[in-house]
Chain A
């Protein structure tokens, strides 16, 4: 159980200079979204890592159950044909 003295937990996602996706950077405590963004700036962008920040209340993230690993992920293991590695790509295609 969370102590009453602690602020709620937030997950921080940072979009880096070189990426188009926001990547999980870590977590922090803050009273609300405004404070979470400011704290994220101080904690996770000090070395010019980012161009954009997302913060999400940690309790809003729905995680898969580790016990479900078998039914969720194992069935795809023997289906290598789902990987697009059976095509020969024309040379003209540069950015694949």
Chain B
């Protein structure tokens, strides 16, 4: 990797914030399953994964806050920004739907997330590399958990197979965005700080394909990619999610437990 010169502070801020937003939004989605899981065990698994993600988001928000020109902290970044200021991937904000929808979204993201973090450990930004190294162990487990369910439901009953197949098809158009770099991604890659998103595509494709075969599911044909998350173009889903997530800190600013 090219090690000089370093990216601008504002680029590094935005880049870190993107990764934080992904973890935060997906965490919030998973926590919406609390007390609604298909059984007690799975209820705890989903919220556990959410808790891992919020831990990752906190590290990333704290680092982002330290890079920001304005005086902000992690809570300001998580709770005081509006939907159009969020730069998460569209995939992670997709609604929970039924259990198959949640698992489809989770697996397709986990498989990408793991590859992304593996590359990020090579970043010349030591903080990002360290956060990635710490997160990998958790995400390996997330990936194992969601792959297991893809196989079970895909290769389960006629009903579970159909619902899993429909769920994969429904979120598929949002997966393309994970591999399409924008200008910021490009700059961060050139500095040796960011991840080569295009390079992840091949491995992700082959891993996903082989799991879908095991699960007796068919891979959807690539349609038109739906993008815009990183530019703050979100569906109203995200607005609803943020409204719920941010309501308490916004109604009682600076309140302490």
B45 touches A (CB below 8 Å): yes
Could you tell me if A39 and B41 are in contact, using CB atoms closer than 8 angstroms? yes
Contacts A38-B144, A42-B48, A46-B48: A29 and B152 contacting too (C-beta < 8 A)? Answer: no
Closest to A32 in B: B152
Question: Whole-angstrom distance from the CB of B211 to the nearest CB of chain A?
Answer: 15
B45 / chain A contacts, CB cutoff of 8 Å: 38-39, 42
CB contact list, A27-84 vs B, under 8 A: 28-31, 34-35, 38-39, 41-43, 46
A46 vs B141: C-alpha distance in the bound complex, in angstroms? 13
Could you tell me if B41 and A29 are in contact, using CB atoms closer than 8 angstroms? yes
Give chain B's interface secondary structure class: helix
B39 / chain A contacts, CB cutoff of 8 Å: 7, 29
Question: Whole-angstrom distance from the CB of B152 to the nearest CB of chain A?
Answer: 7
A46 vs B47: C-alpha distance in the bound complex, in angstroms? 12
B80 touches A (CB below 8 Å): no
Chain A interface residue number, banded: 10 to 19
B40 / chain A contacts, CB cutoff of 8 Å: 29
Of A29, A41, A42, A43, most B-chain CB atoms within 10 Å: A42
Chain B interface residue number, banded: 10 to 19
Could you tell me if A43 and B41 are in contact, using CB atoms closer than 8 angstroms? yes
A39 / chain B contacts, CB cutoff of 8 Å: 41-42, 44-45
A80 vs B27: C-alpha distance in the bound complex, in angstroms? 59
CB contact list, A15-35 vs B, under 8 A: 28-31, 34-35
Bitwise interface map of B from 118 to 154 toward A, beta carbon under 8 Å scored 1, else 0: 0000000000000000000000010011001000100
Could you tell me if B41 and A34 are in contact, using CB atoms closer than 8 angstroms? no
A30 / chain B contacts, CB cutoff of 8 Å: 41
List 11 A-B pairs, Cβ < 8 Å.
A31-B152, A34-B148, A35-B148, A38-B45, A38-B144, A38-B145, A38-B148, A39-B44, A39-B45, A42-B44, A43-B41
Known: A28-B41, A34-B148, A38-B45. 7 other contacts (CB 8 A): A29-B39, A30-B41, A38-B145, A39-B44, A42-B45, A43-B41, A43-B44
- Enumerate the 5 nearest inter-chain pairs by beta-carbon distance, A residue then B residue, closest first: A39-B41, A42-B45, A42-B48, A42-B44, A28-B41
